[in-house]
Structure 1
Amino acid sequence: MLLNVVKSTVLVALASCIMNANDFNVQAEKDRIALIDYTIAKFEDGDKNRDKFFPYSTDDELKNNIQKNVKYEDLRKGNYAFNKQGQYSYNEINEMPPYDELVEKGEELYEDNKALQKCFPDVTVAGDYPYFDEEKKEVVSLTGAINKCLTDAGQKAWNEKKGKMAFFQSYIASETKDAEKKVNIQINSAEAAAAYERGKEFYYTQRGYLKLSCATCHVQGAGKRVRNESLSQLAGHTTHFPVFRLKWGKDKVENGLGTLERRMAGCVKDQGQVPPKTNSKEMKELLYFMAYMSNGMNVDGPDVRK
Protein backbone atom coordinates (compact mmCIF):
# COMPACT_ATOMS: atom_id res chain seq x y z
CA MET A 1 0.00 0.00 0.00
CA LEU A 2 2.75 2.46 0.92
CA LEU A 3 4.63 1.66 -2.27
CA ASN A 4 1.65 3.01 -4.18
CA VAL A 5 1.82 6.18 -2.08
CA VAL A 6 5.50 6.64 -2.83
CA LYS A 7 5.17 5.99 -6.56
CA SER A 8 2.52 8.63 -7.23
CA THR A 9 3.98 11.66 -8.99
CA VAL A 10 3.19 15.27 -9.61
CA LEU A 11 2.12 14.48 -13.17
CA VAL A 12 -0.25 11.75 -12.04
CA ALA A 13 -1.73 14.02 -9.39
CA LEU A 14 -2.31 16.83 -11.87
CA ALA A 15 -3.74 14.55 -14.51
CA SER A 16 -6.25 13.07 -12.05
CA CYS A 17 -7.50 16.43 -10.76
CA ILE A 18 -10.98 17.49 -11.84
CA MET A 19 -11.61 21.21 -11.93
CA ASN A 20 -13.46 21.26 -8.66
CA ALA A 21 -11.83 22.61 -5.49
CA ASN A 22 -13.13 19.65 -3.52
CA ASP A 23 -11.33 17.18 -5.78
CA PHE A 24 -7.77 18.49 -5.76
CA ASN A 25 -7.01 16.66 -2.51
CA VAL A 26 -8.13 13.23 -3.75
CA GLN A 27 -4.60 11.82 -3.98
CA ALA A 28 -3.55 13.45 -0.72
CA GLU A 29 -6.53 11.89 1.06
CA LYS A 30 -5.62 8.48 -0.32
CA ASP A 31 -2.09 8.99 0.97
CA ARG A 32 -3.27 10.12 4.41
CA ILE A 33 -5.73 7.25 4.86
CA ALA A 34 -3.14 4.72 3.68
CA LEU A 35 -0.63 6.11 6.18
CA ILE A 36 -3.12 5.99 9.06
CA ASP A 37 -4.18 2.43 8.19
CA TYR A 38 -0.57 1.32 7.97
CA THR A 39 0.36 2.97 11.27
CA ILE A 40 -2.63 1.62 13.21
CA ALA A 41 -2.01 -1.87 11.84
CA LYS A 42 1.67 -1.63 12.77
CA PHE A 43 0.93 -0.88 16.40
CA GLU A 44 -2.03 -3.23 16.76
CA ASP A 45 0.32 -5.95 18.01
CA GLY A 46 4.03 -5.51 17.29
CA ASP A 47 4.94 -8.92 18.67
CA LYS A 48 2.32 -10.76 16.63
CA ASN A 49 3.17 -8.88 13.43
CA ARG A 50 6.93 -8.75 13.90
CA ASP A 51 7.72 -10.35 10.53
CA LYS A 52 5.76 -7.67 8.69
CA PHE A 53 6.60 -4.55 10.70
CA PHE A 54 9.41 -5.24 13.17
CA PRO A 55 12.02 -7.60 11.71
CA TYR A 56 15.19 -7.89 13.80
CA SER A 57 13.51 -6.35 16.87
CA THR A 58 14.16 -8.11 20.17
CA ASP A 59 11.58 -10.11 22.08
CA ASP A 60 11.97 -7.82 25.07
CA GLU A 61 11.34 -4.70 23.00
CA LEU A 62 8.21 -6.03 21.32
CA LYS A 63 6.66 -7.65 24.37
CA ASN A 64 7.56 -5.13 27.04
CA ASN A 65 8.01 -1.72 25.41
CA ILE A 66 5.72 -1.53 22.37
CA GLN A 67 2.17 -0.58 23.32
CA LYS A 68 -0.53 -2.62 21.61
CA ASN A 69 -3.71 -1.26 20.04
CA VAL A 70 -2.50 2.33 19.74
CA LYS A 71 -5.44 4.60 19.02
CA TYR A 72 -5.66 7.14 16.23
CA GLU A 73 -6.04 10.06 18.63
CA ASP A 74 -2.83 9.06 20.45
CA LEU A 75 -0.62 9.31 17.36
CA ARG A 76 -0.07 13.02 17.96
CA LYS A 77 2.02 12.09 21.01
CA GLY A 78 4.83 10.82 18.79
CA ASN A 79 6.72 7.83 20.10
CA TYR A 80 5.03 8.25 23.47
CA ALA A 81 1.92 6.82 21.80
CA PHE A 82 3.56 3.38 21.84
CA ASN A 83 6.75 3.65 23.89
CA LYS A 84 5.85 2.28 27.33
CA GLN A 85 9.16 3.20 28.90
CA GLY A 86 8.94 6.75 27.62
CA GLN A 87 5.31 7.28 28.64
CA TYR A 88 6.13 7.44 32.34
CA SER A 89 8.77 10.16 32.03
CA TYR A 90 6.64 12.03 29.46
CA ASN A 91 3.65 12.18 31.82
CA GLU A 92 5.90 13.13 34.71
CA ILE A 93 7.51 16.03 32.83
CA ASN A 94 4.14 17.32 31.67
CA GLU A 95 2.97 17.72 35.25
CA MET A 96 5.12 20.86 35.27
CA PRO A 97 5.92 21.55 31.60
CA PRO A 98 9.22 23.41 31.07
CA TYR A 99 7.64 25.42 28.25
CA ASP A 100 4.89 27.07 30.33
CA GLU A 101 6.89 30.24 31.02
CA LEU A 102 7.82 30.43 27.33
CA VAL A 103 4.16 30.33 26.31
CA GLU A 104 3.67 33.31 28.62
CA LYS A 105 6.55 35.09 26.87
CA GLY A 106 4.78 34.46 23.57
CA GLU A 107 1.56 35.96 24.91
CA GLU A 108 3.48 39.04 26.07
CA LEU A 109 5.03 39.43 22.62
CA TYR A 110 1.56 39.40 21.12
CA GLU A 111 0.08 41.85 23.60
CA ASP A 112 2.98 44.27 23.10
CA ASN A 113 2.97 44.21 19.30
CA LYS A 114 0.17 45.94 17.38
CA ALA A 115 1.36 44.51 14.08
CA LEU A 116 0.98 40.93 15.31
CA GLN A 117 -2.45 41.72 16.70
CA LYS A 118 -3.50 43.11 13.32
CA CYS A 119 -2.07 40.16 11.35
CA PHE A 120 -3.39 37.55 13.77
CA PRO A 121 -6.65 38.84 15.27
CA ASP A 122 -7.51 35.18 15.89
CA VAL A 123 -4.56 33.29 17.35
CA THR A 124 -6.25 29.88 17.27
CA VAL A 125 -4.81 29.18 13.81
CA ALA A 126 -1.95 26.74 14.42
CA GLY A 127 -3.81 23.98 12.58
CA ASP A 128 -4.31 26.09 9.45
CA TYR A 129 -0.60 26.39 8.58
CA PRO A 130 1.12 25.85 6.24
CA TYR A 131 -1.42 26.91 3.62
CA PHE A 132 -1.15 27.42 -0.13
CA ASP A 133 -1.51 31.05 -1.22
CA GLU A 134 -3.55 30.84 -4.42
CA GLU A 135 -2.59 34.36 -5.54
CA LYS A 136 1.16 34.01 -5.02
CA LYS A 137 1.12 30.30 -5.94
CA GLU A 138 3.28 29.29 -3.02
CA VAL A 139 3.11 27.64 0.37
CA VAL A 140 3.00 30.00 3.36
CA SER A 141 4.34 28.67 6.65
CA LEU A 142 3.40 30.09 10.04
CA THR A 143 7.03 31.12 10.48
CA GLY A 144 7.02 32.91 7.15
CA ALA A 145 3.71 34.63 7.85
CA ILE A 146 4.93 35.94 11.21
CA ASN A 147 8.16 37.34 9.78
CA LYS A 148 6.35 38.94 6.85
CA CYS A 149 3.99 40.58 9.31
CA LEU A 150 6.92 41.98 11.24
CA THR A 151 8.94 43.20 8.27
CA ASP A 152 5.88 44.75 6.59
CA ALA A 153 5.49 46.80 9.77
CA GLY A 154 9.12 47.92 9.57
CA GLN A 155 10.26 45.57 12.32
CA LYS A 156 13.15 43.13 12.31
CA ALA A 157 12.45 39.54 11.36
CA TRP A 158 12.84 36.94 14.10
CA ASN A 159 15.10 33.90 14.15
CA GLU A 160 13.16 31.21 12.28
CA LYS A 161 14.15 28.34 14.57
CA LYS A 162 13.98 29.50 18.18
CA GLY A 163 13.66 32.46 20.54
CA LYS A 164 10.80 34.90 19.99
CA MET A 165 9.52 32.96 16.99
CA ALA A 166 9.16 29.77 19.01
CA PHE A 167 7.69 31.64 22.00
CA PHE A 168 4.99 33.31 19.92
CA GLN A 169 4.21 30.11 18.04
CA SER A 170 3.88 28.26 21.35
CA TYR A 171 1.25 30.81 22.41
CA ILE A 172 -0.63 30.31 19.13
CA ALA A 173 -0.41 26.52 19.50
CA SER A 174 -1.55 26.64 23.12
CA GLU A 175 -4.55 28.83 22.28
CA THR A 176 -5.44 26.56 19.35
CA LYS A 177 -5.21 23.52 21.59
CA ASP A 178 -7.42 25.14 24.23
CA ALA A 179 -9.96 25.94 21.49
CA GLU A 180 -9.91 22.20 20.60
CA LYS A 181 -9.19 22.94 16.96
CA LYS A 182 -7.78 20.39 14.55
CA VAL A 183 -5.16 20.37 11.82
CA ASN A 184 -6.99 21.61 8.73
CA ILE A 185 -4.74 21.79 5.66
CA GLN A 186 -6.46 22.60 2.38
CA ILE A 187 -5.55 21.61 -1.19
CA ASN A 188 -7.82 23.62 -3.45
CA SER A 189 -6.00 23.87 -6.78
CA ALA A 190 -3.76 21.99 -9.18
CA GLU A 191 -0.84 24.17 -8.09
CA ALA A 192 -1.47 23.32 -4.43
CA ALA A 193 -1.66 19.63 -5.29
CA ALA A 194 1.66 19.92 -7.11
CA ALA A 195 3.25 21.62 -4.09
CA TYR A 196 1.96 18.80 -1.89
CA GLU A 197 3.42 16.20 -4.28
CA ARG A 198 6.82 17.89 -4.26
CA GLY A 199 6.79 17.86 -0.47
CA LYS A 200 5.87 14.18 -0.51
CA GLU A 201 8.64 13.44 -3.00
CA PHE A 202 11.17 15.13 -0.72
CA TYR A 203 9.92 13.10 2.27
CA TYR A 204 10.19 9.74 0.50
CA THR A 205 13.37 10.32 -1.51
CA GLN A 206 16.62 8.80 -0.27
CA ARG A 207 19.39 11.40 -0.13
CA GLY A 208 22.80 12.07 1.34
CA TYR A 209 25.72 9.75 1.93
CA LEU A 210 23.60 7.58 4.23
CA LYS A 211 20.97 7.09 1.52
CA LEU A 212 18.12 7.69 3.95
CA SER A 213 14.78 9.40 3.55
CA CYS A 214 12.48 10.90 6.16
CA ALA A 215 10.18 7.91 5.58
CA THR A 216 12.98 5.42 6.25
CA CYS A 217 12.82 6.39 9.91
CA HIS A 218 9.30 7.71 10.39
CA VAL A 219 7.16 5.43 8.20
CA GLN A 220 8.89 2.10 7.67
CA GLY A 221 11.09 2.60 10.73
CA ALA A 222 8.49 4.01 13.12
CA GLY A 223 8.61 2.15 16.42
CA LYS A 224 12.08 0.72 15.91
CA ARG A 225 14.85 1.56 18.33
CA VAL A 226 17.91 3.54 17.25
CA ARG A 227 20.44 3.75 20.06
CA ASN A 228 18.33 4.77 23.05
CA GLU A 229 15.30 6.15 21.21
CA SER A 230 12.22 4.70 19.51
CA LEU A 231 11.54 6.36 16.16
CA SER A 232 8.28 8.31 16.00
CA GLN A 233 5.64 8.02 13.28
CA LEU A 234 4.83 10.53 10.55
CA ALA A 235 1.11 10.57 11.41
CA GLY A 236 0.74 13.30 14.04
CA HIS A 237 4.23 14.74 13.61
CA THR A 238 3.25 18.37 13.08
CA THR A 239 0.52 18.56 15.72
CA HIS A 240 2.72 19.30 18.73
CA PHE A 241 5.02 22.06 17.50
CA PRO A 242 6.75 24.17 18.54
CA VAL A 243 8.34 21.55 20.73
CA PHE A 244 10.51 21.75 23.83
CA ARG A 245 13.40 19.31 23.49
CA LEU A 246 15.28 18.45 26.64
CA LYS A 247 18.42 18.19 24.50
CA TRP A 248 18.03 21.78 23.31
CA GLY A 249 17.22 23.21 26.73
CA LYS A 250 19.83 21.52 28.86
CA ASP A 251 21.95 24.69 29.19
CA LYS A 252 19.28 27.38 28.89
CA VAL A 253 15.52 26.94 29.11
CA GLU A 254 14.81 29.55 26.43
CA ASN A 255 16.82 27.55 23.89
CA GLY A 256 14.77 24.42 24.51
CA LEU A 257 11.77 25.52 22.47
CA GLY A 258 12.08 25.17 18.71
CA THR A 259 9.96 25.52 15.59
CA LEU A 260 9.09 22.69 13.23
CA GLU A 261 11.65 24.09 10.79
CA ARG A 262 14.37 23.76 13.42
CA ARG A 263 13.53 20.12 14.04
CA MET A 264 13.27 19.23 10.37
CA ALA A 265 16.59 20.90 9.54
CA GLY A 266 18.26 18.80 12.23
CA CYS A 267 16.51 15.64 11.10
CA VAL A 268 17.51 16.12 7.45
CA LYS A 269 21.08 16.80 8.56
CA ASP A 270 21.05 13.52 10.50
CA GLN A 271 20.19 11.78 7.22
CA GLY A 272 23.55 12.86 5.88
CA GLN A 273 22.41 15.68 3.65
CA VAL A 274 22.36 19.47 3.67
CA PRO A 275 18.91 20.60 4.87
CA PRO A 276 16.90 23.13 2.88
CA LYS A 277 16.85 26.63 4.33
CA THR A 278 14.06 27.22 6.82
CA ASN A 279 12.02 29.55 4.60
CA SER A 280 12.88 27.92 1.28
CA LYS A 281 10.33 26.54 -1.15
CA GLU A 282 11.58 23.01 -0.43
CA MET A 283 11.15 23.34 3.33
CA LYS A 284 7.70 24.91 3.11
CA GLU A 285 6.43 22.27 0.70
CA LEU A 286 7.88 19.52 2.88
CA LEU A 287 5.99 20.91 5.89
CA TYR A 288 2.84 21.27 3.76
CA PHE A 289 2.91 17.55 2.97
CA MET A 290 3.69 16.59 6.57
CA ALA A 291 0.92 18.76 7.97
CA TYR A 292 -1.61 17.25 5.58
CA MET A 293 -0.70 13.81 6.90
CA SER A 294 -1.94 15.00 10.32
CA ASN A 295 -5.21 16.44 9.00
CA GLY A 296 -8.11 15.90 11.35
CA MET A 297 -5.96 15.49 14.46
CA ASN A 298 -6.24 17.88 17.39
CA VAL A 299 -3.49 20.47 17.69
CA ASP A 300 -1.48 19.36 20.70
CA GLY A 301 1.33 21.90 21.01
CA PRO A 302 3.53 22.91 22.50
CA ASP A 303 4.85 19.64 23.84
CA VAL A 304 7.98 17.94 25.20
CA ARG A 305 10.37 15.60 23.47
CA LYS A 306 13.83 14.31 24.33
Structure 2
Amino acid sequence: MSKEKLQSHAVQTTGHAWDGDLQEYNNPLPRWWVWAFYLTIVFALVYWVLYPAWPLGKGYTTGIAKVTYVNSKGETVTTHWNTRADLMAEMNAAAKAQKPYYDKIAALPLEQIAKDPELNSFVISAGKQLFGDNCAACHQAGGQGVVGLFPNLTDDDWLYGGTLEKIQETITYGRRGFMPAFGSVFTPEQIDQLANYVLSLSGEKVDAVKAQAGNALFHSMDAMCFYCHGDDAKGRQDVGAPNLTDKIWLWAKVPAADTPEKKVEAVKTVITQGLGKGVMPAWKDRLKPEQIKLLAVYVHELGGGK
Protein backbone atom coordinates (compact mmCIF):
# COMPACT_ATOMS: atom_id res chain seq x y z
CA MET A 1 0.00 0.00 0.00
CA SER A 2 1.33 3.43 -0.94
CA LYS A 3 2.36 6.01 1.64
CA GLU A 4 -0.44 8.35 0.53
CA LYS A 5 -3.10 5.64 1.06
CA LEU A 6 -1.72 4.76 4.49
CA GLN A 7 -1.91 8.43 5.52
CA SER A 8 -5.56 8.64 4.35
CA HIS A 9 -6.48 5.72 6.66
CA ALA A 10 -4.55 7.05 9.63
CA VAL A 11 -6.40 8.77 12.48
CA GLN A 12 -6.20 12.53 12.00
CA THR A 13 -4.92 14.81 14.75
CA THR A 14 -5.86 18.34 15.75
CA GLY A 15 -2.31 19.48 15.12
CA HIS A 16 -1.58 20.02 18.80
CA ALA A 17 1.48 18.30 20.24
CA TRP A 18 3.13 18.19 23.68
CA ASP A 19 6.54 17.01 24.64
CA GLY A 20 7.31 16.53 21.01
CA ASP A 21 5.30 13.34 20.37
CA LEU A 22 2.13 13.59 22.50
CA GLN A 23 -0.68 14.43 20.05
CA GLU A 24 -4.43 15.02 20.30
CA TYR A 25 -6.48 12.84 17.98
CA ASN A 26 -9.39 14.37 16.07
CA ASN A 27 -12.33 11.93 16.64
CA PRO A 28 -15.57 13.81 15.93
CA LEU A 29 -18.87 12.49 17.34
CA PRO A 30 -21.00 10.40 14.96
CA ARG A 31 -23.28 12.56 12.85
CA TRP A 32 -26.43 10.70 13.99
CA TRP A 33 -25.53 11.34 17.65
CA VAL A 34 -25.04 15.08 17.01
CA TRP A 35 -28.41 15.37 15.27
CA ALA A 36 -30.13 13.38 18.05
CA PHE A 37 -28.66 15.80 20.58
CA TYR A 38 -29.97 18.78 18.61
CA LEU A 39 -33.41 17.16 18.41
CA THR A 40 -33.56 16.77 22.21
CA ILE A 41 -32.92 20.49 22.54
CA VAL A 42 -35.71 21.27 20.07
CA PHE A 43 -38.05 18.85 21.87
CA ALA A 44 -37.32 20.51 25.22
CA LEU A 45 -38.05 23.99 23.81
CA VAL A 46 -41.36 22.83 22.31
CA TYR A 47 -42.31 21.05 25.57
CA TRP A 48 -41.59 24.19 27.63
CA VAL A 49 -43.95 26.17 25.39
CA LEU A 50 -46.79 23.62 25.34
CA TYR A 51 -46.85 22.24 28.90
CA PRO A 52 -46.26 23.34 32.51
CA ALA A 53 -42.51 23.44 32.94
CA TRP A 54 -40.74 26.14 34.96
CA PRO A 55 -41.29 27.55 38.45
CA LEU A 56 -42.28 31.20 38.30
CA GLY A 57 -42.47 33.03 41.65
CA LYS A 58 -45.32 31.40 43.56
CA GLY A 59 -46.63 29.71 40.43
CA TYR A 60 -45.26 28.15 37.28
CA THR A 61 -45.43 28.46 33.51
CA THR A 62 -48.65 26.74 32.45
CA GLY A 63 -47.94 26.34 28.75
CA ILE A 64 -50.35 26.95 25.89
CA ALA A 65 -51.84 23.43 25.68
CA LYS A 66 -55.46 23.27 26.90
CA VAL A 67 -57.74 20.47 28.12
CA THR A 68 -61.55 20.59 28.19
CA TYR A 69 -63.63 18.21 30.32
CA VAL A 70 -66.96 17.95 32.13
CA ASN A 71 -66.66 17.86 35.93
CA SER A 72 -68.81 15.97 38.45
CA LYS A 73 -71.29 18.88 38.56
CA GLY A 74 -71.87 18.69 34.83
CA GLU A 75 -69.95 21.89 34.17
CA THR A 76 -67.63 22.21 31.16
CA VAL A 77 -64.16 23.24 32.29
CA THR A 78 -61.27 24.36 30.10
CA THR A 79 -57.86 24.61 31.77
CA HIS A 80 -54.17 24.36 30.99
CA TRP A 81 -52.87 20.86 30.47
CA ASN A 82 -52.26 18.84 33.63
CA THR A 83 -52.48 15.17 34.46
CA ARG A 84 -55.70 15.51 36.49
CA ALA A 85 -57.52 17.39 33.73
CA ASP A 86 -56.18 14.95 31.16
CA LEU A 87 -57.52 12.02 33.22
CA MET A 88 -60.93 13.70 33.50
CA ALA A 89 -61.00 14.18 29.72
CA GLU A 90 -60.16 10.50 29.21
CA MET A 91 -62.91 9.50 31.64
CA ASN A 92 -65.37 11.73 29.75
CA ALA A 93 -64.41 10.01 26.51
CA ALA A 94 -64.84 6.57 28.11
CA ALA A 95 -68.24 7.55 29.55
CA LYS A 96 -69.36 8.77 26.13
CA ALA A 97 -68.31 5.49 24.54
CA GLN A 98 -70.12 3.49 27.25
CA LYS A 99 -73.33 5.55 27.19
CA PRO A 100 -75.14 3.47 24.51
CA TYR A 101 -74.55 0.33 26.57
CA TYR A 102 -75.70 1.91 29.82
CA ASP A 103 -78.81 3.27 28.06
CA LYS A 104 -79.62 -0.25 26.92
CA ILE A 105 -78.99 -1.64 30.41
CA ALA A 106 -81.29 0.98 31.93
CA ALA A 107 -84.09 -0.02 29.55
CA LEU A 108 -83.84 -3.81 29.92
CA PRO A 109 -84.89 -6.14 32.76
CA LEU A 110 -82.06 -7.79 34.66
CA GLU A 111 -82.72 -11.23 33.16
CA GLN A 112 -82.45 -9.92 29.60
CA ILE A 113 -79.19 -8.11 30.37
CA ALA A 114 -77.65 -11.37 31.54
CA LYS A 115 -78.80 -13.17 28.39
CA ASP A 116 -77.70 -10.52 25.86
CA PRO A 117 -74.29 -11.62 24.42
CA GLU A 118 -73.17 -8.08 23.53
CA LEU A 119 -74.21 -6.63 26.87
CA ASN A 120 -72.71 -9.60 28.68
CA SER A 121 -69.28 -8.73 27.29
CA PHE A 122 -69.75 -5.14 28.42
CA VAL A 123 -70.89 -6.30 31.87
CA ILE A 124 -67.69 -8.32 32.28
CA SER A 125 -65.36 -5.46 31.27
CA ALA A 126 -67.17 -2.47 32.82
CA GLY A 127 -68.39 -4.51 35.80
CA LYS A 128 -64.85 -5.54 36.66
CA GLN A 129 -63.81 -1.90 36.79
CA LEU A 130 -66.85 -0.82 38.84
CA PHE A 131 -66.36 -3.73 41.22
CA GLY A 132 -62.66 -2.95 41.59
CA ASP A 133 -63.34 0.73 42.33
CA ASN A 134 -66.22 0.24 44.76
CA CYS A 135 -66.45 -3.34 46.06
CA ALA A 136 -63.02 -4.98 45.97
CA ALA A 137 -61.77 -3.15 49.07
CA CYS A 138 -64.07 -5.39 51.15
CA HIS A 139 -64.95 -8.37 48.97
CA GLN A 140 -61.47 -8.66 47.36
CA ALA A 141 -60.72 -8.37 43.64
CA GLY A 142 -62.16 -11.79 42.80
CA GLY A 143 -65.14 -11.50 45.13
CA GLN A 144 -63.86 -14.21 47.49
CA GLY A 145 -64.41 -12.06 50.60
CA VAL A 146 -62.69 -12.35 53.97
CA VAL A 147 -63.80 -14.82 56.65
CA GLY A 148 -64.91 -12.93 59.72
CA LEU A 149 -65.50 -9.69 57.83
CA PHE A 150 -66.97 -9.79 54.33
CA PRO A 151 -69.04 -12.43 52.48
CA ASN A 152 -67.73 -14.56 49.66
CA LEU A 153 -69.63 -13.66 46.48
CA THR A 154 -68.36 -16.60 44.42
CA ASP A 155 -70.08 -19.41 46.31
CA ASP A 156 -73.81 -20.23 46.36
CA ASP A 157 -74.40 -19.21 49.98
CA TRP A 158 -76.34 -15.94 50.23
CA LEU A 159 -77.43 -14.25 53.43
CA TYR A 160 -80.15 -12.19 51.74
CA GLY A 161 -80.65 -14.09 48.49
CA GLY A 162 -78.60 -14.59 45.36
CA THR A 163 -81.12 -13.80 42.62
CA LEU A 164 -80.48 -10.86 40.32
CA GLU A 165 -83.26 -8.88 42.00
CA LYS A 166 -81.98 -9.57 45.53
CA ILE A 167 -78.41 -8.68 44.61
CA GLN A 168 -79.63 -5.41 43.07
CA GLU A 169 -81.64 -4.71 46.24
CA THR A 170 -78.61 -5.39 48.43
CA ILE A 171 -76.35 -3.06 46.42
CA THR A 172 -79.01 -0.35 46.25
CA TYR A 173 -80.08 -0.19 49.89
CA GLY A 174 -77.22 -1.90 51.71
CA ARG A 175 -77.54 -4.42 54.55
CA ARG A 176 -77.15 -4.31 58.31
CA GLY A 177 -76.65 -7.71 59.92
CA PHE A 178 -76.91 -8.21 63.66
CA MET A 179 -76.70 -11.02 66.19
CA PRO A 180 -77.02 -10.33 69.93
CA ALA A 181 -74.21 -11.23 72.30
CA PHE A 182 -75.07 -14.19 74.54
CA GLY A 183 -72.01 -13.96 76.78
CA SER A 184 -74.03 -12.44 79.62
CA VAL A 185 -77.13 -14.54 78.93
CA PHE A 186 -75.76 -18.08 79.03
CA THR A 187 -73.20 -19.81 81.18
CA PRO A 188 -69.87 -20.82 79.64
CA GLU A 189 -71.09 -24.43 79.71
CA GLN A 190 -74.22 -23.57 77.70
CA ILE A 191 -72.21 -21.60 75.16
CA ASP A 192 -69.88 -24.58 74.81
CA GLN A 193 -72.89 -26.82 74.21
CA LEU A 194 -74.31 -24.48 71.57
CA ALA A 195 -70.95 -24.28 69.79
CA ASN A 196 -70.68 -28.06 69.65
CA TYR A 197 -74.20 -28.33 68.27
CA VAL A 198 -73.60 -25.69 65.61
CA LEU A 199 -70.43 -27.44 64.46
CA SER A 200 -72.20 -30.81 64.38
CA LEU A 201 -74.69 -29.40 61.86
CA SER A 202 -71.96 -29.26 59.21
CA GLY A 203 -70.42 -32.63 60.06
CA GLU A 204 -67.54 -31.39 62.20
CA LYS A 205 -66.09 -33.61 64.93
CA VAL A 206 -67.70 -32.60 68.26
CA ASP A 207 -68.60 -33.85 71.73
CA ALA A 208 -71.86 -35.74 71.10
CA VAL A 209 -73.20 -35.20 74.62
CA LYS A 210 -72.57 -31.46 74.49
CA ALA A 211 -74.03 -31.27 70.98
CA GLN A 212 -77.22 -32.97 72.14
CA ALA A 213 -77.60 -30.49 75.01
CA GLY A 214 -76.87 -27.66 72.57
CA ASN A 215 -79.60 -28.94 70.27
CA ALA A 216 -82.15 -28.64 73.05
CA LEU A 217 -80.92 -25.16 73.94
CA PHE A 218 -80.88 -24.04 70.29
CA HIS A 219 -84.59 -24.91 69.95
CA SER A 220 -85.62 -23.65 73.38
CA MET A 221 -87.48 -20.45 74.15
CA ASP A 222 -84.52 -19.38 76.30
CA ALA A 223 -82.07 -19.15 73.42
CA MET A 224 -84.51 -18.91 70.50
CA CYS A 225 -81.71 -19.47 68.00
CA PHE A 226 -84.25 -21.19 65.78
CA TYR A 227 -86.17 -17.95 65.37
CA CYS A 228 -83.47 -16.49 63.10
CA HIS A 229 -81.68 -19.59 61.84
CA GLY A 230 -84.81 -21.72 61.42
CA ASP A 231 -85.87 -25.02 62.98
CA ASP A 232 -83.65 -26.80 60.46
CA ALA A 233 -80.81 -24.29 61.07
CA LYS A 234 -80.69 -23.50 57.34
CA GLY A 235 -81.06 -19.79 57.96
CA ARG A 236 -83.53 -17.13 56.94
CA GLN A 237 -82.72 -14.84 54.04
CA ASP A 238 -85.41 -12.35 55.06
CA VAL A 239 -83.35 -11.44 58.13
CA GLY A 240 -79.91 -12.35 56.79
CA ALA A 241 -79.36 -15.25 59.19
CA PRO A 242 -76.79 -17.68 57.74
CA ASN A 243 -77.24 -21.35 57.00
CA LEU A 244 -75.51 -23.32 59.76
CA THR A 245 -75.74 -26.72 58.09
CA ASP A 246 -73.23 -26.19 55.29
CA LYS A 247 -69.48 -25.83 55.57
CA ILE A 248 -69.48 -22.20 54.54
CA TRP A 249 -68.36 -19.91 57.35
CA LEU A 250 -68.59 -16.15 57.24
CA TRP A 251 -68.22 -14.91 60.80
CA ALA A 252 -66.71 -17.82 62.75
CA LYS A 253 -63.13 -18.42 61.65
CA VAL A 254 -63.58 -22.19 61.55
CA PRO A 255 -61.67 -22.80 58.28
CA ALA A 256 -58.50 -21.35 59.83
CA ALA A 257 -58.74 -23.61 62.92
CA ASP A 258 -56.65 -26.78 62.67
CA THR A 259 -58.09 -28.70 65.64
CA PRO A 260 -61.64 -29.52 66.81
CA GLU A 261 -60.99 -27.54 70.00
CA LYS A 262 -60.02 -24.41 68.09
CA LYS A 263 -63.09 -24.74 65.89
CA VAL A 264 -65.29 -24.85 68.97
CA GLU A 265 -63.53 -21.75 70.30
CA ALA A 266 -64.13 -19.93 67.01
CA VAL A 267 -67.88 -20.56 67.20
CA LYS A 268 -67.98 -19.75 70.92
CA THR A 269 -66.43 -16.35 70.20
CA VAL A 270 -69.26 -15.44 67.84
CA ILE A 271 -71.97 -16.69 70.23
CA THR A 272 -70.40 -14.89 73.18
CA GLN A 273 -69.65 -11.55 71.52
CA GLY A 274 -72.47 -11.43 68.99
CA LEU A 275 -72.25 -9.56 65.72
CA GLY A 276 -72.86 -5.92 64.95
CA LYS A 277 -70.34 -5.39 62.18
CA GLY A 278 -72.26 -6.98 59.32
CA VAL A 279 -72.87 -3.62 57.66
CA MET A 280 -72.83 -2.95 53.94
CA PRO A 281 -73.42 0.67 52.87
CA ALA A 282 -76.19 1.65 50.48
CA TRP A 283 -74.94 2.60 47.03
CA LYS A 284 -78.08 4.27 45.69
CA ASP A 285 -76.62 7.73 46.33
CA ARG A 286 -73.14 6.86 45.06
CA LEU A 287 -73.83 4.95 41.86
CA LYS A 288 -76.31 5.53 39.06
CA PRO A 289 -79.22 3.04 38.75
CA GLU A 290 -77.80 1.60 35.52
CA GLN A 291 -74.41 1.09 37.22
CA ILE A 292 -76.09 -0.77 40.06
CA LYS A 293 -77.93 -2.97 37.54
CA LEU A 294 -74.64 -3.73 35.80
CA LEU A 295 -72.96 -4.55 39.11
CA ALA A 296 -75.84 -6.83 40.09
CA VAL A 297 -75.40 -8.85 36.89
CA TYR A 298 -71.60 -8.86 37.29
CA VAL A 299 -71.77 -10.13 40.89
CA HIS A 300 -74.35 -12.73 39.84
CA GLU A 301 -71.95 -13.93 37.14
CA LEU A 302 -69.05 -14.32 39.58
CA GLY A 303 -70.27 -17.87 40.10
CA GLY A 304 -72.54 -17.81 43.12
CA GLY A 305 -75.70 -16.25 41.71
CA LYS A 306 -78.98 -18.15 41.70
Larger Rg: 2
Higher strand share: 2
Q: Same fold (TM over 0.5)?
A: no
TM class, shorter-chain normalised? under 0.3
TM-score normalised over the length of structure 2: 0.25
